[in-house]
């Protein structure tokens, strides 16, 4: 099933939306990782102000996503390639993982599931990436949803996979003027239930449907 674009924004409108929503998207990335930060705390840290009682590794994660979004916004017209995707992870997982910006070379586990993603094979991953990104029959929205699900379950990097997948999806959407993918607090619990089910089954239909209905944001002019 292919999902049609909900929004058709001009490049100027799309960039305006991304700049307006990027702090909310950073917070979304933190909540996806179950980090104990609030939206006001996240905004304060993004504004360069110290926040007491926030763990240093949480501050690092917020600043990493900030830098990934700055990179995304500054390169919005650059083509989306395998190397670009790795660059997103380089920003997001900096100083958090064994390596960042490179495919992992060892095994990892995912909390809450027995599913163990295989060690990525570079050429296979590149082909899968291209098949999603350059699918001529898919809308930008469908590519974004497919890329998010694929990256989250594949766990291709040592750390930051959900955040990297979220940012990858938004590179696709913002570049095409198709909105932005952000999961709000009220939808986070259901998202986690569906994501865990996807990890267990490999069937992304329910997760993509949920994200399409509840997590694609835009603007009406």
| pLDDT on residue 98 | 82
Contact 36, 55 (CB under 8 A): yes
| pLDDT on residue 96 | 84
| pLDDT on residue 1 | 64
Alpha helices in 75-139 (DSSP H): 82-92, 122-133
| pLDDT on residue 152 | 97
Class of domain 11-217: mainly alpha
Distance CA(111)–CA(155), nearest Å, equals 12
Confidence of residue 66 (pLDDT cuts 50, 70, 90): very high
> Quick check: pTM over 0.85?
yes
Burial class of residue 83 (count of CB atoms within 10 Å of its CB; 0-12, 13-18, 19+): exposed
**Residue 74, token pair as written in the block:** 């500054």
């Amino acid at each position: 099933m292919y999902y049609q674009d909900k929004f058709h924004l001009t490049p100027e409108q799309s960039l305006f939306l991304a700049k307006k929503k990027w702090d909310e998207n950073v917070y979304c990335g933190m909540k996806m990782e179950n980090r104990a930060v609030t939206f006001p705390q996240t905004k304060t840290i993004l504004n360069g102000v110290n926040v007491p009682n926030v763990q240093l590794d949480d501050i690092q994660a917020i600043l990493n996503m900030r830098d990934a979004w700055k990179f995304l916004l500054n390169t919005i017209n650059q083509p989306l390639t395998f190397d670009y995707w790795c660059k997103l992870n380089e920003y997001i997982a900096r100083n958090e993982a064994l390596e960042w910006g490179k495919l992992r070379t060892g095994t990892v586990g995912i909390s809450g599931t027995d599913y163990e993603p295989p060690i990525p094979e570079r050429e296979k991953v590149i082909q899968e990436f291209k098949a999603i990104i350059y699918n001529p029959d898919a809308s930008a929205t469908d590519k974004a949803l497919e890329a998010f699900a694929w990256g989250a379950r594949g766990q291709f990097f040592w750390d930051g996979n959900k955040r990297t997948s979220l940012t990858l999806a938004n590179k696709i959407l913002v570049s095409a003027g198709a909105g932005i993918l952000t999961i709000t607090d009220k939808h986070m619990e259901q998202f986690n239930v569906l994501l865990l089910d996807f990890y267990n089954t490999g069937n992304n239909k329910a997760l993509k449907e949920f994200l399409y209905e509840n997590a694609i944001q835009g603007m009406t002019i």
